[in-house]
Chains A and B, each alone.
Chain A
């Protein structure tokens, strides 16, 4: 198991390095001059030159990449040229908002999705199964931003049950959770349907396998058969999908953060790309990549724990 984990972490490091290099090149190749954007219309040529030097933009791209990685390994992502604050501090200040949003969204979606999937599989072709199927497909088809807008209009404007903007008072967990309800509903809703369909399909496959029939033949309680044996295997594709789906969750978070005016990595990336604030863009991209790579690696490790065949490489 340990060698499996070490291999996966090594692979994750390589993926991170490649992804960050590619994104660095893409960001620096798109047109737009960060110096003009940052200094505004009244900067003198001397100011422009000084800023270019300070940002390292006067150096060859390959040198800029090498410097970025060198500094990154020392935990230094540079300084935000606008506010003169460390990029690491800026990005780390936003990560908890995005991470919290994603985790809450996927958690409630997974709990509900798995429950609905199990119910549908156990009660195959029943009215409840059919209803669940229709609802699941319906919510899968609705984009997160549509859910966000309508939930705002209904629950924030009309009923005024939940707040429309922001992330809540710092240090007030209750207020922060209150502010998370609508955004996590927007992101998580389509995942409920997706997970429900996935779990149903997996469960039906597993429930038809020999070891389940054997368990039933031995007279084990149905609950233990379903949740103790069948679900343990049927959940594997769901864990993988959630891990890989972290990329989709991040992109959904971008829309949601903008619609709900929440702080977070998505909003930070959009703002910094618009202003060509390279250090902040790279810092945000690095952390987004890390979230993605860590979640897929974790999914692999969880799968390996649940299924010994995976860690044995079979």
Chain B
């Protein structure tokens, strides 16, 4: 491993105070900085698990949490997610970041961060390069939408600059700067390899170094000896690629890994028969699961019929049978803890058979026969069987059609789609959730072909709304509109149960995903 050669220079920081009402998340940062963090013991190896192999170490092409779990440890961002039960962020590479106005965000970098392999100190030019390359059409980055209305980054000093937006963009603080698109890479390093990388980082700057990747087996991170920030707890982190949660649980019980997510059906067993020296924690998830109905399909054109289906589905039964009581019913597409989460859905969670039957009678439909398409996972099959029984109670025959992954995710373009049991991933901003249900997405990711001008207008306006209370109201209204269309029955956000050895102090996002750089040793 080459040692970095870094020219350490100090920069004068603007004296303005931290953040001027950027977002609610921004507000949490101030308190976050005050929270005590577990004392990190020095040394040792943390062995943990990821459910898939890495795809790319280039922030422009990473597609999700698997890559980001590693990137968050080896790269720096201006801000990072703060571990804990509430969403928030804290400063990372930035010594200061502030929202000067709706479209300008000033930042100043710390003066003690350098890139490995001799690529020098991190400068504002690196920040400019990292962010602007993602919006460059020539690069064809799939993460371009994360940067929304980014216009450019203005470099005002060696380590100071301003992010300039075309218009206000609130998700910047919750899903851009602290997530994949916010990773800062070395301009010189990337240019030395032609502008983009694959699975091998060319230069990193975080508290851990990327020490090796054995495809389909594991990624190894090692302590960065030149890291000047808060000391990390482990000399080495080994992240094993274990697809199956059951296999991961066995590996944990065999003492081979220290931390893993466990399956929902294991929660009860692990609670009643705990593993010695280990702790089980349950976190809510951001995923959202729902039953969708294709509004363009003539068989579902009748609003009363769709409403009858909404009221006939008994969500608690699905929670008990398909999720083993380890998940809670949801009220929409926005999970608790995020702006716009509704306390209750319009159609409730318990089946209202009387109302469903009355709606069915009002609809004038009889002998209805429908089909529901599902991904071939056991939870989906169980949920679909319960829905099948629920709908049978109001005279609807439901056929269950199973699909494997690649086939299932092609169904959006199928105009004949009827019902679908769907599950989308989510980032911690409501903008990300509503973006899939605008009219423009009909037949792409809006499988229900839900088209509503008010919804589209809310989606557009809410991303710029600085008043958090107002923004929350807007997203709540957006979910009301979805539900009023009769095209949606929201089921759950699922859950993220994790287990870890008591020798480890995990540092997790509020949705249970690991932030390895903050993991501690007890």
Chain A residues close to B by CB (< 8 Å): 30-34, 36-37, 39-43, 46-47, 50, 82-85, 90, 93-94, 152-153, 156-157, 160, 163-167, 170, 258-264, 267-268, 271, 274-276
Which chain B residues numbered 15 to 69 have a C-beta less than 8 Å away from chain A? 52-56, 63
Q: Smallest CB–CB gap between A169 and chain B, Å?
A: 9
| Nearest neighbor of A170 in chain B, beta-carbon distance | B214
Q: Please name 23 pairs of A and B residues whose Cβ atoms are closer than 8 Å in the assembled complex, sorted by A.
A: A30-B407, A33-B406, A33-B410, A34-B406, A37-B405, A39-B142, A42-B142, A47-B140, A47-B142, A83-B55, A83-B56, A84-B56, A93-B215, A153-B250, A163-B254, A164-B254, A165-B247, A165-B257, A166-B217, A167-B217, A267-B243, A274-B405, A274-B406
Beta-carbon nearest neighbor of B441 in chain A: A41
Q: Does B241 contact A (CB under 8 A)?
A: yes
B461-486 interface with A by 8 A CB criterion: none
User: How many chain-B residues does the 8 Å CB contact rule pick out?
Assistant: 40
Interface string of B256-282 (1 = CB under 8 A from A): 110000000000000000000000000
Contact A261 B142 (CB under 8 A): no
Docked Cα-Cα span, A268 to B215, in Å, equals 10
What's the minimum C-beta distance from A101 to chain B, rounded to whole angstroms?
13
Contact yes or no, B55 A82, CB < 8 A: yes
Which residue of chain A lies nearest to B425 when distances are taken between CB atoms in the complex? Answer: A41
Query: Is B104 in contact with chain A by the CB < 8 A criterion?
Result: no
> Which residues of B lie under 8 Å from residue A42 when comparing CB positions?
142-145
Asked if B255 is at the interface (CB within 8 A of a chain A CB), the reply is yes
Tell me if B240 is interfacial: C-beta within 8 Å of chain A: yes
Q: A152-B250, A258-B247 are in contact. List 4 more A-B contacts (CB 8 A).
A: A42-B143, A83-B55, A157-B250, A261-B242
**B257 — which chain A residues lie within 8 A by C-beta?**
165
Dominant secondary structure of chain A at its interface with chain B: loop
Partner of B404, one of A157, A166, A274: A274
Given the interface pairs A152-B250, A163-B254, A258-B247, the reply to whether A40 lies near B142 with Cβ below 8 Å is yes
Report the bound CA distance from A114 to B199 in whole Å.
46
Q: Provided the pairs A36-B410, A83-B55 are in contact, do residues A94 and B251 lie with their beta carbons within 8 angstroms? A: no
Beta-carbon contact of B404 and A164 below 8 Å? no
Q: How far is the CA of A42 from the CA of B144 in the complex (A)?
A: 9
Cβ distance B50 to chain A, nearest Cβ, rounded Å: 11
Determine the chain A residues whose CB is within 8 A of the CB of B142 once the complex forms: 39-40, 42-43, 47
- Asked if B410 and A166 make an inter-chain contact with CB atoms under 8 angstroms apart, the answer reads no
B residues near A (Cβ < 8 Å) are 52-56, 63, 140, 142-145, 198-199, 214-218, 240-244, 247-248, 250-251, 253-257, 404-407, 409-410, 436, 445
Instruction: Give Cα distance in the complex from A271 to B55, angstroms.
Output: 12
Chain B residues with CB under 8 Å of A268's CB are: 216
Asked if B254 contacts A166 (CB within 8 A), the reply is no
A69 to chain B, nearest CB (A): 25
Query: Are B406 and A166 in touch, CB under 8 angstroms?
Result: no
In the bound complex, what is the Cα–Cα distance between A262 and B255 (angstroms)? 17
**Which residues in B have their C-beta under 8 angstroms from that of A50?**
140
Question: In this complex, what residue of B is CB-closest to A41?
Answer: B445
Smallest Cβ-Cβ distance to A81: which chain B residue: B55
Known contacts A36-B409, A83-B55, A263-B216: does B253 contact A157 (CB below 8 Å)? yes
The complex places the Cα of A115 from the Cα of B142 at a distance, in Å, of 59
B402 CB to nearest A CB, Å: 13
| Interchain CB contact under 8 A, A166 and B407 | no
**Residue in A closest to B54 when the chains form the complex, CB atoms:** A83
Cα-based distance from A271 to B214 in the complex (angstroms): 16
> How far is B242's CA from A23's CA once the two chains are assembled, in angstroms?
28
Q: Write out the residue numbers on chain A whose beta carbons fall within 8 Å of the beta carbon of B145.
A: 42
Smallest CB gap from B141: residue in A: A47
Complex CA distance for A46 and B142, rounded to whole angstroms: 11
**Complex CA distance for A218 and B445, rounded to whole angstroms:** 83
**Is the pair B55, A263 in contact by a Cβ cutoff of 8 Å?**
no
Q: Are B406 and A160 in contact (CB under 8 A)?
A: no
Partner of A164, one of B55, B198, B217, B251: B251
